[in-house]
């Protein structure tokens, strides 16, 4: 039992080291990592050496560490094997080619949404969400398209984190609930400068075979092109795209 516990603790610490890295912190020193996982430098160094040997980390010339090629390989493998991408990409591509605007697939991760796939516009002025980047569920067309279909407990947890991002962010719970009710009926969500000034979008939800909400498809771009008239004119195409992705994911009652 002790051997099992020690092995589990070792694995847990190794994962803690890898999870110390994020989009904003892609390079860390031994001291940085030691502080983040609350272990002595000597112990941390032993873990780092093992992870480096197996390709999970790379030690740079300045003695900092970055994520290694083994994680890149595993991440690529995971992405390819995740059925949602295969279900979504060809459909997203058709929508992107029709309007030459950025089309994105977001998936729900606890109280946030994560940009899982995107196909960029070729316009010089365009919106480019960061792959793997996390955004709130309570703001933006994609977030609201997901939030409209979560249960009340989940909604209340999400709503507890609402803050104003721009002058157009919806911070009043009653107003947000009213919008979500409309989204539940139409399965179409809009946002105009809500999350970032100058960026607007239209989105629709994506469901799985059990009709559970798993994400949303959006088309987004600069507000100078994404006027209300334009957004309203493309809403049905975005809706049909999300409906087809849902169908490809097993949903038969969109």
Topology of the domain comprising 2-73: Arc Repressor Mutant, subunit A (1.10.10)
Domain parsing of the chain, residue ranges: 2-73, 82-248
Distances (CA, A) of 230 to 2, 225, 235: 64, 7, 9
Identical fold, 2-73 and 82-248: no
**Helix or strand holding residue 189 (H, E):** strand 189-192
Share of the chain above pLDDT 70, in %: 96
Please give the class, per CATH, of domain 82-248: alpha beta
Question: What is the tens place of the pLDDT at every residue in 16-28?
Answer: 999 999 878 899 9
* Least confident span in 84-88, 157-161, 237-241: 84-88
Let me know: does 205 contact 113? Beta carbons within 8 Å. Answer: no
- Give the model's pLDDT for residue 3: 53
Give the model's confidence band at 105: pLDDT under 50 very low, under 70 low, under 90 confident, else very high: very high
> Per-residue pLDDT for 1 more than 50?
no
Rounding to the nearest 10 degrees, give the CA dihedral for residues 56, 109, 116, 90. Answer: 130
Question: What is the tens place of the pLDDT at every residue in 146-164?
Answer: 999 999 999 999 999 999 9
CB-based contacts of 28-37 (< 8 A; 24+ apart in sequence): 28/64, 28/65, 29/63, 29/64, 29/65, 30/63, 30/65, 33/65, 37/13
Question: What is the tens place of the pLDDT at every residue in 6-61?
Answer: 678 889 999 999 999 987 889 999 999 999 999 999 999 999 999 999 999 999 99
- Give the model's pLDDT for residue 84: 84
């Amino acid at each position: 039992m002790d051997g099992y516990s020690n092995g589990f603790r070792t694995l847990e610490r190794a994962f803690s080291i890898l999870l110390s890295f994020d989009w904003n912190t892609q390079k860390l020193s031994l001291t940085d990592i030691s502080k983040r996982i609350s272990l002595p430098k000597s112990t941390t160094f032993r873990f780092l050496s093992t992870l480096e040997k197996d390709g999970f980390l790379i030690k740079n010339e300045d003695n900092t560490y970055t994520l290694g090629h083994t994680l890149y390989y595993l991440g690529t493998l995971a992405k390819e094997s995740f059925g949602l991408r295969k279900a979504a990409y060809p459909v997203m591509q058709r929508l992107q080619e029709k309007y030459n605007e950025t089309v994105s697939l977001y998936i729900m991760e606890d109280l946030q949404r994560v940009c899982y796939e995107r196909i960029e516009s070729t316009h010089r002025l365009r919106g480019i969400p960061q792959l793997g980047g996390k955004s709130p569920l309570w703001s933006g067309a994609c977030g609201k398209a997901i939030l409209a279909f979560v249960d009340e407990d989940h909604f209340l947890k999400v709503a507890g984190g609402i803050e104003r991002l721009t002058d157009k962010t919806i911070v009043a719970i009653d107003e947000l609930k009213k919008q979500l009710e409309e989204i539940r009926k139409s399965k179409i969500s809009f946002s105009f400068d809500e999350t970032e000034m100058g960026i607007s979008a239209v989105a629709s939800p994506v469901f799985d075979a059990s009709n559970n909400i798993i994400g949303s498809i959006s088309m987004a771009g600069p507000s100078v092109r994404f006027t209300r008239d334009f957004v309203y004119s493309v809403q049905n195409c975005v809706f049909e795209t999300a409906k087809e992705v849902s169908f490809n994911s097993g949903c038969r009652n969109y």
